[in-house]
Structure 1
Amino acid sequence: MVAYFDLPGVSAEDVDITIERNIVTIRAERRPARQEDDEVIVDERAYGIFTRQVFLGDSMELNKMTADYARGELCLTIPVSEKAKPRRIEVQTSDQEPRQVTASATEGGAR
């Protein structure tokens, strides 16, 4: 499984990823690039701390998750557990002839 998050203007040092049970939390902080004495005409980006949470099923191998961050895009790769992957069950056949089964009463009055 792969999950992508757009984090433009955020440096890799300002991205924090935590896992608790089956919840992955991404916390990031975007800081303004401007200097204190800059005269800003337009600034369309929000700044500050923000978080995203992803709720994953029990079939994920969260301890094997990897994170790659490039050009403002965070990519989480989370392998699916082997036990959760589809698998084929082979059908076995029994070529025995049907046989008759008879029941008899047992002594002692069993019913």
Structure 2
Amino acid sequence: MAAYDPFRELDRFASTLFDTRRGPRRMPMDLYRDGDHYVLTADLPGIDPGSVDIDVDGQLLTIRAERTLAGGEGVKWITREREAASFLRQLNLGQGVDTGNIAATYSNGVLNVTIPVSEKAKPRKIEVSSDSSSPVIQAHEGSDAPQPVEQ
């Protein structure tokens, strides 16, 4: 077991407090396909749903959110470990999604984004028709490739 080092903890706290280079934080997320749509779930605890901003620019999906902390005038903090923060996540959607019908909900600190697969990207059966006037394919002697033969 490692010995407790109060200076390491103080250094960690100071770097957290005074680190102005920190930009938006990444939010942990899961992404999976369920039938004809993709489902993205992202953890955003303590976020005001009104601060969540989701937009699509071409095939780039951007999710932004802000966590602000209440602290009225005259409040004397005993401890304050939670931070106000900005969250950012961007995803390249590719060509097979219907960007016009993306939907999102936020409940219990989890953002759910449903991204439908576009109609043209969905698997489909190709019907094979038969026409008696089509050429018959037969292999000729001395040739590895099949050649059409007129009947």
1:62 has 2:99 as partner: yes
1:40 has 2:78 as partner: yes
Cα deviation 1:35-82 (Å, max 9, x = unaligned): 452323351x34222211111111111111111111111111111011
Higher helix share: 2
Partner of 1:105: none
TM-score normalised to structure 1 length: 0.76
Partner of 2:122: 85
Larger CA Rg, structure 1 vs 2: 1
Q: In the alignment, which of 74, 84, 96 is matched to residue 111 of structure 2?
A: 74
Q: For the aligned residues, what is the CA RMSD? A: 2.4
Q: In the alignment, which of 83, 87, 104 is matched to residue 50 of structure 1?
A: 87
Return 5+ residue gaps in structure 1 as ranges: 102-111
Q: Aligned to 2:120, what secondary structure does the other structure show?
A: helix
Residue 126 of structure 2 aligns with an amino acid whose one-letter code is I
Matches of 1:56 and 1:74 in 2, distance apart?
17
Matches of 2:71 and 2:107 in 1, distance apart?
22
Please identify runs of 4+ aligned residues in structure 1 that moved more than 3 A.
33-36, 93-98
Larger RCO (alpha carbons 8 Å, 6+ apart): 1
Return 5+ residue gaps in structure 2 as ranges: 1-37, 137-148
Cα deviation 1:89-111 (Å, max 9, x = unaligned): 1223345696x65xxxxxxxxxx
Matches of 1:30 and 1:14 in 2, distance apart?
8
What is the percentage of aligned positions where both structures have the same residue? 40
Partner of 2:144: none
